[in-house]
Amino acid sequence: MITSTGASTHFAPELHIPNGTKSIEFYTRFGATENFCFRNDDESIHVAELEINGAIFHVHETMRDALEPVSAKGVTAVIGLFVPDVEEIMQQAIKAGATEINPTTDHDYGYRQGMFKDPFGHYWQIQKKI
């Protein structure tokens, strides 16, 4: 059993980026707020915490046996983000430099969804229940 001490329970995905990455500007252009960013001696990013309307996620340089999508040669996870306006967020991501994978579509199972790939190869499924 998981118990709470009053704080809400939520997921905070950690997206791995290639070692030596110096800019994660895509995420702020996409609309994320950077809460903090720790850099290595060479000014490359070690770890940063970002937030999109209360949804927290981290980007972290690749470590141990973890792979980011480029070196893994494929998708390592799909980030599902629930938002009020799927099309607005999809367009914002594409304008910021994302690549559309699936256009915004209403599905029979009751979701409006669109999917894009960010510049680091991570797939994002933008969605809302309809």
Grouped pLDDT means (10 residues each) for the chain, 130 residues: 60 91 96 96 97 93 82 86 95 97 96 96 95
- Greatest Cα pair distance, the chain, in angstroms, is 51
Query: CB–CB of 47/66 below 8 Å?
Result: no
Q: Which pLDDT score is estimated for 60?
A: 93
- CATH superfamily label, 14-129: 2,3-Dihydroxybiphenyl 1,2-Dioxygenase, domain 1 (3.10.180.10)
Q: Which pLDDT score is estimated for 99?
A: 97
Query: What sign does the CA torsion over 69, 75, 78, 84 have?
Result: positive
pTM, two decimals, is: 0.84
From residue 63, give the alpha-carbon distance in Å to each of 17, 99, 103: 10, 26, 33
Region of 53 on the Ramachandran plot (φ > 0 left; ψ -120 to 50 alpha; else beta)? left
